[in-house]
Amino acid sequence: MKDVAARAGVGLKTVSRVVNEEPGVTPETERRVQEAIEALGFRRNDSARVLRKGRTASIGLVLEDLADPFYGPLSRAVEEVARAHGALLINGSSAEDPEREQELVLALCARRVDGLVVIPAGDDHRYLEPEVKAGVATVFVDRPAGHIDADVVVSDNFGGARDGVAHLIAHGHRRIGFIGDMPRIHTAAERLRGYRAAMEDAEITVEDSWMSLGVTDPERVRRAAEEMLTGPEPVTAVFAGNNRVTVTVIRVLAGHTRPVALVGFDDIELADLLQPGVTVVAQDAAALGRTAAERLFRQLDGTLLTPERIVLPTRLITRGSGELPPAG
């Protein structure tokens, strides 16, 4: 900038004025400055700008895994909102590791992001308190925050799972299996609660052998599903706790002749083209991201004061697999 000023034969501040389109610069002067900028290939250094202004026009997004198809649309939605507010998006994957989540969040805070959208891996976010106090807007998505008062945007995991399981019950099933993630993950716990609630509503006593909790890698999901299907009390239907489980269960069922009903949490691509089509409880990932980001920017505007918990509805999409009658 100094160089530009020297070349244009003007003061530093005048260049700054031109760059920021502030009023009070003669067209002639502006032309000279623009010329110098062009000639020198000058680009404003935002780091210095940030240092002076205090705002970075960037927000951080911490999620579990960018490669998971569920987070792609969510991430994209957050980005769109950020873009509409002239902000850039910095993101990182926590890989479901609380320590890594904290490390990422603090790194983002050191960058002085204006706000954070966090899909928590851990369940204790007291480490964020000083940051929040220092003015970093924060919204938690998909799962609630732990030990901290903050905005939360989640899907109705409990209700969705309950409806999905009730749907199976309505089609005559009583022995219904549940395969889900570790209950320490809030969404997994809620979905399990939904499963239990639906079963209880129908006065069905759940056998331990019908449930598999905390399995997550395909191989173990596969084994868990096989056990449920072939045990002494084989299930006639399975409720899959998330998209990855659903996919694996579909593969397992494809290897069996006895038709087994299936409802999965989260929609999956091509679900309609399989035989039978896969019935799912779909959540709107994009809406989660959009809602969270919009709240974030309202916090930054100062329009928003009290933290709130927003629950978005899920939607049961029937495609065939969930409507199969009990067999075996």
Partner DNA sequence: TAGAGCCTGGACAACGTTGTCAGATGCGGG
Partner DNA sequence: CCCGCATCTGACAACGTTGTCCAGGCTCTA
Q: Please, are residues 185 and 143 in contact by the beta-carbon 8 Å criterion?
A: yes
By CB under 8 A, tell whether 320 contacts a second copy: no
- β-partners of residue 212 are 179
Q: Residue 280 has which token pair?
A: 């799912």
By CB under 7 A, tell whether 135 contacts DNA: no
Among 21, 23, 134, 219, binds a second copy (CB under 8 A): 134
By CB under 7 A, tell whether 215 contacts DNA: no
Integer Cα distance of 282 and 242 in angstroms: 10
With 0-12 / 13-18 / 19 or more C-beta atoms within 10 angstroms meaning exposed / middle / buried, residue 22 is: exposed
Q: How far is the CB of 56 from DNA (least distance, A)?
A: 12
Return the number of other C-beta atoms located less than 10 Å from residue 313's C-beta: 12
By CB under 8 A, tell whether 242 contacts a second copy: no
Among 13, 111, 126, 147, binds a second copy (CB under 8 A): 111
Nearest to 119 by CA among 74, 89, 164, 157: 74
Which of a second copy, DNA, none does residue 12 bind to, with CB < 5 to 8 Å depending on kind?
A: DNA
Q: Which is nearer to DNA, 17 or 173 (CB)?
A: 17
Return the number of other C-beta atoms located less than 10 Å from residue 184's C-beta: 13
Which of a second copy, DNA, none does residue 24 bind to, with CB < 5 to 8 Å depending on kind?
A: DNA
Among 18, 105, 109, 139, binds a second copy (CB under 8 A): 109
Nearest to 16 by CA among 26, 7, 30, 39: 30
Site string for DNA, 16-55 (x = CB under 7 A): xx-xx--xxxx-xx------------xxxx--xx-xxx--
Q: How far is the CB of 70 from a second copy (least distance, A)?
A: 10
By CB under 8 A, tell whether 69 contacts a second copy: yes
Integer Cα distance of 254 and 198 in angstroms: 27
Integer Cα distance of 129 and 294 in angstroms: 21
By CB under 7 A, tell whether 106 contacts DNA: no
Q: How far is the CB of 297 from DNA (least distance, A)?
A: 20
Q: How far is the CB of 107 from DNA (least distance, A)?
A: 14
User: Based on C-alpha coordinates, what's the Rg of the chain?
Assistant: 26
Integer Cα distance of 123 and 102 in angstroms: 11
By CB under 7 A, tell whether 130 contacts DNA: no
Q: How far is the CB of 80 from a second copy (least distance, A)?
A: 8
Among 26, 47, 205, 306, binds a second copy (CB under 8 A): 47
Which of DNA, a second copy, none does residue 9 bind to, with CB < 5 to 8 Å depending on kind?
A: DNA
**Per-residue buried b or exposed e for 32-54, using 16+ beta carbons within 10 Å of the residue's own CB:** bbeebbeeeebeeeeeebbeeee
Q: Which residues bind DNA (CB under 7 A)?
A: 1-2, 9-14, 16-17, 19-20, 23-26, 28-29, 42-45, 48-49, 51-53
